[in-house]
Amino acid sequence: MADAKLKPKSVDGTEPHGAGNSPQETASTVEVMPPPDAIETDPELTPEEAEQARKRYLLKRFWISARRYWGRGGDKFAWPFSIGLLALIGMNVGFQYGINLWNRGIFDAIERHDAGTVYFLSAVFVPLVLGTVAIVTIQVAVRMMIQRRWRSWLTTAVIARWLANGRYYQLNLIGGDHKNPEARISEDLRIATEAPVDFTAGVISAFLAASTFIVVLWTIGGALTLPIAGWTITIPGFLVITAVLYAAITSTSMAVIGRYFVHVSEAKNQAEAEFRYTLTHVRENGESIALLGGEEEERNDLDKTFANVLRQWALLARQHMRTTLVSHGSMLIAPVVPVLLCAPKFLEGSMTLGQVMQAASAFAIVQGAFGWLVDNYPRLADWNACARRIASLMMSLDGLERAEQSDSLGRIKHGETEGEAMLSLNDLSVSLDDGTAVVTETRVEIEPGERVLVSGESGSGKSTLVRAISGLWPWGSGSVNFHADRRLFMLPQRPYIPSGTLRRAVAYPGAADSWTLDKIKAALDKVGLDYLNEKIEEDAPWDQTLSGGEKQRLAFARLLLHYPDIIVLDEATSALDEKSQDKMMQMVIDELPEVTIVSVAHRAELEAFHSRKITLERRKGGAKLVSDIDLVPRKRKRNLLSRVLRNPSLPKGSTTSNKDSTVPE
C-alpha cells in the first residue's frame, strides 16, 4: 500500500497537506508524466559553456511538458483547433492572392480608361474585403482559443505538481532558480504559451505567402536586361532575387544588432518579478512594518529594487531603439524598391501599370514574409526568457519529484500504527535536503487521548519535527505512523486567514457553507470572539484586520467545527496572554475530551494541560530525544517502544517515564 494512503485523513475527509495527493487527483484533466532524467553538467565545460548548456536545456525542458498538450493525455480539442487554424491561414493567403490580382486588374483598367471594368472590379472588391476580414477575424479567434486552452492546460499541470506533496512549501527549503514561483506561473507561463502559437502561425503564414508571391514576382517580373559598359547583362527573376537579398540584409542586421536581446529581456523579467515580490511582501506585513516604524527602510529597499527595474528597462530600451532603426527603415524602403525596379520596363512599354502595382504588392508581401524575424525578434527574445523561467521552476519540481521516488537522500515513510496507538515515530531522523541531520533517531508512541508536550531550546528541531509528522518535511529516515482513518488538524503559530468572509475564514479548510451560522457563531463564542458575530458575513481583509491573538483564537474555533482526532499545535498560543492561553487549552480539553494532542511550545505553564512531556536537546550531530516523562499518572502501561532512547550516556532516570510525577498546582 502506498504511503499516501496510510496517512491520516484531514478534517474534510481528503488527504492532509503533504499526504501525497497525486497530481492526477489534483488536476483530473491532466495526465502527469514522470519527471525527465536529471542532466549532469560536463565537468570539462567552462563556467560560461556550462551556463549556455543549461540555458539550452531549459528550453528543451519547457517543450518536454508543453508539447504534451498535443499528445496523449493532452487537450482533445488541440489538434482540431490547430488544423482549423492552418486551414484558415491557407484561406487567408488565398484571399491575399485574390486582392493582388484585383490590384493588377483595376490599374490596368484605369490605364486603358475602361470604365466598365473599373466599376465591375469596384463591386468585386467588397466581397473580397468582407471575406478577408471574416477569415482574419475567425483566425484570430481560433488562435487565441488555442493559446487560452494551452495556457489553461499547462498552468493546471504546473500548479498540480507545485501543490502536490507540499512541494510549494519545500521549494523554500532547497536551493535552485525558482524564486517567485507565483510570477512564473501567472505571467511567464502566459507569455510562454501565447508567443509560440503566434510564432507558428506567423511562420506558416509567411512561408505560404512567400511561396505564393515569389511565383507572382517571377511570372510578372521576368528577366531584367541591363546594358553595362557595352555589355548586356540579363538577370532572370530579378524581383525575386532583389526580395531575397533585401530580406537577407535586414534579417542579418536584426540578428547582429539584437543579439543581446534575449539576455536583456530575461534580466528585465527577473527584475520585474523581484519588484512585485517586494511590494507584495510589504503589503502582507504592513502591520508589523507600521508598528516598528520601518517605512523608511522599506522605502529604501523598494527604491533599490525599482532602480534595478529601471536599469534593466534602460538596457532593453537601447535594444528596442537599435531594432526599430532596422525595422522602421525597412518599412519605409520596401514599398519603393519594386516600383523603381519595374520603372524601366514600364517606361519602355513591356510592363503595364497593373503589373507594376501587382509586383509592388507582391514584393511587399514577400518582403513582409521574409522579414518576419525583423518584426518579431523582440517578442521571440521575450518568449525565450519567459520559457526559461518557467522551465527553471519545472526543473526544481523535477528534483523534488525525483527525490520522492528515490531513496538516495532518504525519505521519511508514512504508514499505519499497530494496535491502538494513535501516533508512533519509529527511528525517525529528520535531515536537510543536503543530508545534514536536524533530529536523529527518535522513537515515540502516543496513545489515543494523550496530550504530549514537545519541549526544547530554540533551534533544537521541534518545529522541524512537527513538519515531518505532518508530512511537509520529506527528508530523513524512519517512519511516522498514524492510526488508520484518523483525521489530523494542524494549528501553526501563524494561522492562515483566507480572503473572503469571516465565515469562510472560520470554516477553513472546509467550505463556508458546511456549517450553519449558529454553529459558527457558537464556536466564536467559545473562543472569546463573540464580538465578531455581527461581521461573520462581511467580506474584508481579515488577515490584515485581526490581531495575532485573534487569529490564534480563530484557529481554535476551527477545531470545534472540524472535531479532529489528532491535533498538532506548533506554538499555537504564542500570541495569547497566559490567562487566554489557559482558557483556550481548557476549552479544547472540555470540548474535545477524546482528542490526541501533540504540542510544541516554550511556556512551562502549558505542562498543566498535558499528560506527557518529551524533550529534545540540540547536539552536534542533530537533536535527540533526551527525556520522556508522564506529567499525570497513567491508567495503563505505555508500550516499551516509547521508553527506548538511543543515547545510553544520559543521566540515570532521564530515559524512563515517571509514572508518579504530577504537575504542581
Rounded to an integer, the average pLDDT of 276-289 is 81
Residue 512 to residue 531: CA distance in whole angstroms: 19
For the cut 80, the answer to whether the pLDDT of residue 223 exceeds it is no
Q: Which residues contact 333 (CB under 8 A, 6 or more apart)?
A: none
How buried is 592 (Cβ within 10 angstroms: 0-12 exposed, 13-18 middle, 19+ buried)?
Answer: middle
pLDDT given for residue 493 in this prediction = 87
Map grid coordinates 505538481 to a residue.
161
Rounded to an integer, the average pLDDT of 386-407 is 84
Rounded to an integer, the average pLDDT of 391-420 is 80
Rounded to an integer, the average pLDDT of 123-143 is 93
Map grid coordinates 476549552 to a residue.
587
pLDDT given for residue 635 in this prediction = 53
In sign, the C-alpha dihedral spanning 497, 499, 503, 509 is negative
Residues of the chain with pLDDT > 70, as a percent, come to 85
In sign, the C-alpha dihedral spanning 288, 294, 295, 298 is negative
Confidence of residue 236 (pLDDT cuts 50, 70, 90): confident
Map grid coordinates 536551493 to a residue.
175
Flag the least confident range among 28-37, 170-179, 222-231, 548-557: 28-37
Q: Which residues contact 365 (CB under 8 A, 6 or more apart)?
A: 96, 100, 209, 210, 213
Give residue-wise pLDDT tens across range 464-492: 788 888 777 777 888 888 888 778 888 88
For the cut 90, the answer to whether the pLDDT of residue 632 exceeds it is no
Contact 278, 304 (CB under 8 A): no
**Cell numbers found for residue 531:** 464580538
Q: Which helix (H) or strand (E) holds 51?
A: helix 47-66
B/e letters for 538-555, b = 16+ CB within 10 Å, e = fewer, are eeeebeeebeebbbbbbb
> Using omega within 30 degrees of 0 as the cis cutoff, is the peptide bond preceding 378 cis?
no
For the cut 60, the answer to whether the pLDDT of residue 8 exceeds it is no
**Cell numbers found for residue 487:** 483525521
Give residue-wise pLDDT tens across range 331-361: 788 778 888 888 888 888 888 888 888 888 8
Rounded to an integer, the average pLDDT of 406-429 is 78
Q: What share of the chain is helix, strand, coil (3-state, %, to 5)?
A: 60, 10, 30
Residue 600 to residue 621: CA distance in whole angstroms: 22
Contact 204, 88 (CB under 8 A): no
